[in-house]
Chains A and B, each alone.
Chain A
Amino acid sequence: MLRLTLIRLLQGIPVLLVVVTITFFLVRAAPGGPFDAERSLPPEVLENLEQRYNLGAPPCRQYLDYLGGLLRGDLGPSFRYPNRSVNELIATGFPITLELALYAILVAVIIGVLAGLLAAVRRGTWLDHLPMGLAMTGICLPSFLLGPLLVLVFGIALEWLPVSGWGYAPGDKILPSITLGAAYAAYIARLTRGGMLEVLGQDYIVTARAKGLSMPVVLMRHALRGGLAPVVAFLGPAIAGLLTGSFVVETIFQIPGLGRFYVQAAFNRDYTMILGTTILLSALVILFNIVADLLGAWMNPRLRHGRGTA
C-alpha cells in the first residue's frame, strides 16, 4: 500500500509538469499583450514593466525562471494588481473556496449515499422512484439555475437565509453549499444505487443471507464496501468539478473565493494570476484523484495486498 502510494504520487509529478508547461506556453501564446489596455505607455514605463514581469527574456528563459519560482512557491506578481503577488491573492481566496467545496462534498456524499442506498434496498417502490426522480432533476438543474431559485425562495420570499456572502451572517454558508453540492448528490445517488444493485446481485450476498444474517447486517457488512466502489472512484472527478463549479456559486452568492478571482483574471487577462490559479487547481485535482484512487485500492483487498496493478 505504501509502495502504491509512492508510485502514484511520483506519477503525478510529470503530469503536473506537463500541465504547467502547456498552461505557460498557452498563456504566452495568447493574442494581445497584457498591457494593451493601458494605451501609449511611455517606453521607459513599459520597459520597467517588462522587466518586472520578466517579459524581456526569451520564452524558454522565462519558462525556466517561472519553474524556478514555482519550486520556491513563488507564483510571481499579478498583472492586474501590480502591488500584490499572485500568492497573496490566492491566499485570500483559496481557503474560502476550499471550505465551500468541502461543505458541498459533504452535502453530496451524505445525501447521495443515503438516497442511493434507500433506492437500491427498496428497488421498484416509491422509495426508489422518488429519490431517483429527484436525482434526475438535480442533474438537469444546473447550479446557476438552482442557486438563483433557492435565493428567490429561501432568501427573498421566505427570508429564512441570507442571500449572499460567506461568514458574514449566520447561515449564509447553507445555500451556497447546497447549490454547489446538489448536482453531485444527485449523481452520487445514482452511482450508489447502481453499485449496490450490482453487488446485491452477487452470489456472496446469497451466501450471507443463507447464514441467517439480517438484511441490515448483510447490507452494511457484506454489500456496502463493494457497492460504494463507483462512488469512491467518482470522488476525484467530483472534487475537480466542485472546485470549478465554485466559480459559478461564488459569482451568484458574491463570495470572495478563488473562483471569482479566476473569472476576473480571465476577463482581465491577468496572465500570471490565470497561470498560478490553473496550476494550483490542477495540482489539487491531481492530488485528490490520487487520494480517491488510493482509497479505492485500500477498500479492495485484491489491490491493497500488492501485486495487482489493474
Chain B
Amino acid sequence: MAGLAFMLLLALVALLTPWIAPYGYEEQDLALAASPPSLAHWLGTDTLGRDLLTRILYGGRVSLAVGFAATAVSLIVGVAWGIVAGYLGGRVDAWMMRIVDILYALPFMIFVILLTVVFGRSFLLLFLAIGLVEWLTMARIVRAQVRSARQQDYIAAAEVSGLSHARIMARHVLPNVLGPVVVYVTLTIPAVMLVEAFLSFLGLGIQPPQSSWGLLVAEGVETMEEYPWLLLFPGLCLSLTLFSLNFLGDGLRDALDPRGRLGFRGQ
C-alpha cells in the first residue's frame, strides 16, 4: 500500500509541477552556480545555476510520461495479441507465439537505439519504440491466462448454457485476465522508465534543454567528484520510484496469486 500511495503522490506532483515548482524551468542564477542544498534551493543548483529541485520535478514529468505512455502502447498491443492467440488457439496461436519467441530472442535495446538513430530523437517516437518492444511479455502473460481460463470447466459450462464466444470472453475470460495484466502493468512502468533513463544517460534519449531523470543522472556523473548532490538527488528519485513501483507490483502479484483458489471476491 505504501507503494501505491507513493505512486499516487508522484503522479499528483507530476501533474502539478508547473504550479508547485519553486523556480522557472530555465531560470538561471549564475552567481549561485553549483551551490549545495540551501534554504533557497532545497536540493542545490546545477553548474548553470538552475534550481535542482525544479529540474527534478520537470524531469520526473518526462520520465513518468514516457513510462506511462509506452506502457499504454505495450498494454494495447500485448493484450490484443495475447487474447487473439489464446482464444483462437491452434495454428494461429502457434504462429503468433512463434513470432513473439523470435522477437524475444532479439537484443531489443539495440533496436531501440537503432530506432532513435533512424527516426531522430523525438519524445513521441521514443516511447512508441519502447512500447512496441515491451509488449512481448504482456502478450505471453495474457495468452497464458486466456488459455488456462479456457480450460476451466466453467467456460465449457457457459458454452453449454448457450452463451456466445464474445460474451464468454467478456463475462468469464476477461475478468480472469485482468488481475495479472494489472500486475504486469505496474512492473512494466518501471522497466520502461529504466529504458528511458538508460537511453538518456547515453545521450540517445531525451535531449537538453529538456530533461529527464536519466539525463540528470548523466549530468550528475560528470561532476560527481565536485558536486555529488547533482548525482545523488536525481538518482535517489529514480531509484525510489522504481522501488515503489516494483514493490507495488510484487505485492499485487502475491495478492492475486493465480494459483490461489480464493482471492478476488466479486467485482
Contacts and interface: CB of A to CB of B under 8 A. Distances in A.
B202 A142 contact: no
A23 B239 contact: no
Interface in A246-292: 247-248, 251-252, 262-263, 266-267, 269, 274, 277-278, 281-282, 285-286, 289
Contacts of A244: 107, 109-110, 113
Is the interface on chain B under 10, 10 to 19, 20 to 34, or 35 or more residues?
35 or more
Contacts of B218: 144
A272 B201 CA distance: 24
B61 to A, nearest CB: 19
B117 A269 contact: yes
B225 interface: yes
Interface stretch (B38-46, B74-82, B242-250): B242-250
Given A144-B218, A241-B109, A266-B117, A248 B239 contact: no
Main secondary structure of the interface of A (DSSP, over half): helix
A19 B190 CA distance: 28
Contact of A31 (B111, B120, B198, B217): B120
Nearest to B202: A263
B120 A145 contact: no
B197 A142 contact: yes
Q: Which of A19, A29, A151, A269 is most buried by chain B, counting CB atoms within 10 A of its CB?
A: A19
A141 B242 CA distance: 8
A8 to B, nearest CB: 11
A144 B118 contact: no
Nearest to B116: A266
11 contacts: A15-B106, A19-B106, A27-B117, A145-B239, A151-B224, A262-B110, A267-B204, A269-B117, A278-B111, A282-B110, A289-B105
Given A144-B218, A148-B220, 12 more contacts: A31-B120, A137-B239, A140-B242, A142-B194, A240-B109, A244-B107, A262-B113, A263-B113, A263-B202, A266-B204, A281-B110, A289-B105
